[in-house]
Structure 1
Amino acid sequence: MKLDFIDMQSSDSFFGTVPFPPDKIEDKFYQLEFSSLQDKSRIIKEIASMIPWQVRVQDIADELKDPTLRVFARSVSAAVHSERISYRYSILAEKGHPNHYDDLEEGVFLLSSVIDSDLSYLEFRTYLDKIAIRVEELVDLNEDLASDEVKVHFLTRVLSQEEGFGGNHDQYEDPNNSYLHKVFSSKKGIPISLSVIYLLVAHRLQLPLYGVNMPLHFLLHFESSEFQTYIDSYHGGVMLDRSTCIRFLKANGFQAHERYFTHASSLTILKRMFRNLIHIYRKKEDRDMEKILSRHLLALDNKWKP
């Protein structure tokens, strides 16, 4: 089994591995510091578009040569960070709905960074890498028996049993269930966030696993030429056949329409995660978070104007 990892150095700031123009960014911060009020928004957007999503804006501020400029850059880093999230989501929206999940990791990392701008992508990525390596070890140790069905069993075993990921049945509407870095720590989430972890690990292992945007309960679908199954990440990675999924739909008042079994794109998954969170914050009457997330959702809907 061949792992599909991103080749990056251990530097948490990714300087030297992710190309970006530091001198031009420094010039832009100078412009921002001395710009008129009407120009500030435009320049913040320009800075946001220049900083790679893997790099913390705070790290960029700390690397500026002028100490006075460093202080200023730190003071506006939150605004630049928020603008960059919308900018990156607008790029993802323009790509449409491919379901290869190449952009899913970026999307969910940025969602987590909404509540933690200091979040380290290196740590985020490394945690997922380690899980994938463990699955790969099991496959390699059982190479003669490692059919696609066995690979799925190893994937669910590592995630549900060894790592302990499962549904947060007691606090289903806790917002932390939707932020992956929080789920990494608590091991508890909701169907879609847990499914995303499965997808990101499977993507590293080049396994044909897909999200299924079923009403009320997000599922996974493994589909290869030799084996097919549906997986419920919320209930310990249990495997389901299609007839069981159809019974679930009918029991909840839905017809067994083919659209409920369509493979979900990264964009579809991210929009559902955002809408879940907006609904939760609205119920909690947290207007600030509702407003922040709604703004980023506009970018995912391709309605954000840079």
Structure 2
Amino acid sequence: MVVTESQIRALIRLLADEDRRIVQTISDKLIDIGPLAVPLLQEAEIEQPEMAERIASVLEEIRGGKLEQELVDLASAPDEDMDLEKGAFLIARYAYPSLDVPQYIRQLDEMAQEIRDRIGPRASGEETVKTFNRYLFTEQGFKGNTKNYYEVENSYLNRVIDRRTGIPISLSVVYLLIGRRLHLPIHGIGMPGHFLVKYESDRYKIFVDCFNGGALLTEKNCQRFLTEAGYGFDEKYLQHSPVRAILSRMTKNLLAIYSKLDDSLKKARLGKFIEILGCDSREGGL
């Protein structure tokens, strides 16, 4: 059955009914209609502020439900086949539903190409990392947000790329996505309380702290950090983080922020995202 614009508008008007059962029935119908109803709901949200809360709830179910299904499909893959880039942009689309993902993919492609041009075919691992870091943190200006660490935009990949600012895990994801375009032997390292990237070849092994301007750390540096931070040291803290764990950690960071803001709709949806990812990650956040 094809639903017309006038029928959708009529349903939206019924959201103003005082009977909660009717409101729930109408909400369910609009949710079933799905993306077709979104532009009209957004219009009504502005024009009828008295219904804003009910409309926001319907919009959340339409958008969130679609993303949930996409996340189910993504998470059904084995760990080694999960797509970090697709997952990170999926999380970003939760806050930015009209996000132009291809535009950001092009930006990542262009940055990778610029680094490739600088590195050349015979660069050593050490030269590669130093060239990469100089480009990303000095030339492009990516940096840790030390002034407003818990700002929600620090956790959405598109905003990290826009503002060149983020937290350890989001900056590390940018590094990983560019590095994988260059076929570099790099991995995310989800230490408690801090996230790093590790470059690991036969001849050169180093940890990169993307939050602190690409500072290069040895394993002893990491052990010292963990000990001084009160976590103690365990070999598992320096193991590679699978994509599932990285996406779960990104989502848990957002859940913590929205919990502090007491945003019940986002708390509920992000909780479902974490369940879908099915990763009982005991890593610290951020």
Partner of 1:234: 211
Pick from 197, 207, 229 the counterpart of residue 220 of structure 1: 197
Q: Among the aligned pairs, what percent are the same residue?
A: 33
Return the offset for 1:199: 0.4
Partner of 1:184: 161
Secondary structure of 1:263's match? coil
Partner of 1:136: 116
The two structures, once aligned, show a CA RMSD in angstroms of 2.9
Q: Structure 1 residues 39, 256: closer, same or farther in 2, change over 3 A?
A: same
Residue type at the aligned position of 1:131:
M
* Rounded Cα–Cα distance in structure 2 between residues aligned with 1:39 and 1:248: 51
Return the offset for 1:81: 3.4
Residue type at the aligned position of 1:154:
T
Partner of 2:175: 198
Partner of 1:110: 90
Pick from 99, 113, 121 the counterpart of residue 101 of structure 2: 121
1:97 is the counterpart of 2:79:
yes
Partner of 2:130: 153
* Rounded Cα–Cα distance in structure 2 between residues aligned with 1:221 and 1:70: 42
Residue type at the aligned position of 2:211:
Y
Deviation string for 1:274-306 (max 9, x for gaps)? Answer: 11111111122222322222222222228xxxx
* Rounded Cα–Cα distance in structure 2 between residues aligned with 1:286 and 1:38: 20
Return the offset for 1:157: 1.3
Partner of 2:224: 247
Partner of 2:53: none
1:272 is the counterpart of 2:249:
yes
Deviation string for 1:169-200 (max 9, x for gaps)? Answer: 01000011000111112111100000000000
TM-score normalised according to structure 2 size: 0.77
1:87 is the counterpart of 2:69:
yes
Moved more, 170-179 or 102-111: 102-111
Could you tell me whether the CA contact under 8 Å between 2:31 and 2:62 is conserved in 1? no
Residue type at the aligned position of 2:239:
T
Choose between structure 1 and 2: higher helix proportion.
Answer: 2
Deviation string for 1:190-246 (max 9, x for gaps)? Answer: 000000000000111111110001000001111111211000000001110000000
Could you tell me whether the CA contact under 8 Å between 1:29 and 1:73 is conserved in 2? no
The unaligned stretches of length 5 or more in structure 2 are: 9-24, 44-57, 280-286
The unaligned stretches of length 5 or more in structure 1 are: 1-26, 48-56, 62-68
Secondary structure of 1:127's match? helix
Residue type at the aligned position of 1:116:
Y
Counting matched residue pairs gives 248
Q: Structure 1 residues 42, 185: closer, same or farther in 2, change over 3 A?
A: closer
Pick from 257, 260, 263 the counterpart of residue 283 of structure 1: 260
Residue type at the aligned position of 1:168:
N
Pick from 141, 145, 148 the counterpart of residue 164 of structure 1: 141
TM-score normalised according to structure 1 size: 0.72
* Rounded Cα–Cα distance in structure 1 between residues aligned with 2:3 and 2:203: 55
